[in-house]
Amino acid sequence: MTKIDYRPLDELMTTPDGLPMVHRDISWLSFNYRVLQEAMDPAVPLFERIKFLAIYSSNLDEFFKVRMANHRYLLRIGKKTKRELEVDPKVIIKEIRRIVNLQQELYSQIFLEMIVPELRQHGIFLLRRLDLNQEQKDFVESYFHDHMLPFVQPVLMVKNRVRPFLNNAALYLTLQMQPLDGDHPGDEYALVKIPSDHLPRFLKLPSAPHRHELIMLDDIVRHSVSWMFPGYKIIDTFSAKLTRDAELYIDDEFSGDLIQKIRESLAKRHVGPASRFVYDREMPADMLSFLMGVFDLERYDTLREGRYHNNFDFFKFPDFGLTNLQNQPLPPLPYPPLEQARHFFVAIRERDHLLHPPYQSYEAVIRFFEEAAHDPRVTHIKITQYRVARQSRIMQALMDAVKAGKQVSVFIEVKARFDEEANLSWGERLEKAGVNVHYSFPGVKVHSKVALIRRLEKEGPQLYCYLGTGNFHEDTVKVYSDFGLFTADQRLCGEVARLFSFLETVKVPQLAFEHLLVGQFNLRSGLERLIQHEIDAAKAGRPARIILKLNSIQDRDMIELLYKASKAGVKIQLIVRGICCLVPGIEPHSTNIEAISIVDRYLEHARVFYFHHDGEERIYLSSADWMERNLSYRVETAFPIYDDLIKQEIMDYLQIQLNDNVKARVIDPGFKNAYQKTDSDLAIRSQLETYYYVKRKMEQMPT
């Protein structure tokens, strides 16, 4: 197997003043390699390994649409990346291309040398056109003429004269041909679209009993190209795809109609400049050079891949009903204290409740809104929305609430990348239903995951709130691991109400946030004070400990403060799924810092901040990663846990993850992604352990 050698360059590993700090995109590529590790792991069921190939490809596509596009933009305007590392865009582009090329070679090896042979062992055969028998050829040819012919759009390319437009992320076959008449010697080139945007990528073929044979759409087009170019001899065919820059580049968010500017930018997204041209690594150099000329590409725009692209289509690989090749089901566990409560809001007023989907059912969250919509005592419902499911019971509950005469307010962040159109559409539906809809702030994203309900009770108006680490999204909640807190604690609910007042009026609250840490107000300074407290404790010889569970850590100031804490003797443990620009285990900066990353069947999405705080154990759950964008340019929320039982529950979850010796990888300066070894003789797979921990806890709970 191809070995991924990161050989970090000095300027990609340190800031100009010598602070150890990995470039965020090199760290991200190391994370995406951890996804590839799952595709290589023979202990992972076969169809799940195929899904990890899809996840890797989907991740990489988004990376090139956004991050690589940003580097190319900086290269065009002649600027270095700001603040974090002051890196020359040429250097980072070159290193990204080198690493991705190696990963793509490994990807092809995994698929051809591991996945395909194992599929055959289970009677599944992925055929190419030369493998087809006569019955299958007839089937493929009929399918092409009946279903594909209107979409393939064959074009003969002529340099400087015929320049077809390549649709963003669409698949194409490039053809190397020669005229049969012989009057025009030499190769000519043509382009044919592979219509995977209209038709399934995998087609089941007529097969013998107990055999499952299928062919990819790409190879059906390959089989059929000679009919599209009569008079030519087809020499060879090679696949290609162009990914376009997906950044919106809104020139001035602070003037004019921001929503209209976003709509106009979205219309341009699919015709933006190239961010990546991927091609079959077997493509001849002359053909690649011709295509680069036709499509006005530079060398750094191009990237070698295997025979097939858009491999995120592996999400739709047929399973033929073979459930033994999939993950064993872990059905979400009910949360009876709320799901079965006769008086829902009374149950929340009696005590706080922690929900941990997808291990636990999301039904309690949905019921929070549906109960509010139909409860005659509820007067107000407020919620923030960053990403929304296509079919949403929560959104329906909000519209039902308006019909019932309640005041409903929704803040929709329309700058949520790749969800802009969906969020605008939901905003229009809600407005038509009578919901008060508020939209994005210029220059700032609202990323908080909070909801508030006001209910009239005997003692007077009572506030209830739900604070989460993940979106109110009924689809992603099935695979994203998050925390959510139901509470009627007025210390928290009052400040959530204050946050909504700010979102609705854009007026700075007169009272400061004392319990919540809120981006744009006290999030950064509050975290700094908590870290400094641990530093002071360590210097005074008292116990000092920090545990951080994050998606990403990149903010230079926070990393520098953690280094300071490590030097002071604070024990720091990090659980970082994705980007980790901090470098653990480096003398003298980070000898007291350990970091792991967990990639498994669920996407680790919860953010948890633990501080020993002289034994008081301050624990916050949050929507915020420790990236400059989250701490400086977003409205985020970190909320404290006050209930001692819930505190212990969260500590149990963290300890399970820290003890993981099956899916945890060690984050180290060499990007080795080695699996963590522990003293335990027992295999501890944290996500599985968490599921059964929750199950035991629910079974022990009084009915």
Active site residues: 447
Count of other CB atoms within 10 angstroms of residue 400: 18
Query: Please, what is the end-to-end C-alpha distance for the chain in angstroms?
Result: 54
Contact 504, 581 (CB under 8 A): no
CA 586 to chain centre: 29
Are 589 and 563 contacting, i.e. CB atoms less than 8 angstroms apart?
A: yes
**Distance from C-alpha of 317 to C-alpha of 307, rounded to nearest angstrom:** 17
Sign of CA dihedral 207, 209, 211, 212: positive
Q: Is 354 helix (H, G, I), strand (E, B) or coil?
A: strand
Radius of gyration of the chain (CA): 27
Cα distance between residue 51 and residue 314, in whole Å: 6
Q: Which helix (H) or strand (E) holds 487?
A: strand 484-487
The helix/strand/coil state of 508 is coil
Cis (ω within 30 of 0) for the bond into 588?
yes
How far, in Å, are 24, 435, 451, 517 from residue 412 at the CA level?
28, 12, 12, 21
The pair of three-digit structure tokens given for residue 477, joined into one six-digit string = 């909640």
- CA separation for the pair 24, 578 (Å, rounded): 10
> Using CA atoms, how far apart are residues 292 and 696, in angstroms rounded to an integer?
60
- Cβ atoms of residues 107 and 36 within 8 Å: yes
Decide if 540 contacts 566 (C-beta within 8 A): no
Cis bond upstream, residue 358 (ω within 30): yes
DSSP state of 413: -
Q: Which residue has the tokens 């990007």?
A: 671
Beta bridge partners of 358: none
Collapse the DSSP code of 331 into the 3-class scheme (helix H, G, I; strand E, B; otherwise coil) and give the result: coil
**Strands of the 124-127 sheet, one edge to the other:** 124-127, 212-216, 202-204
CA atoms within 13 A on the CB side of 380: 18
Backbone φ, ψ for residue 263 (5° rounding) = -60, -45
> Cβ-count burial of 249 within 10 angstroms (0-12 exposed, 13-18 middle, 19+ buried)?
exposed
Closest CA relative to residue 556, chosen from 575, 574, 583:
583
E strand segments, 245-291? 274-280
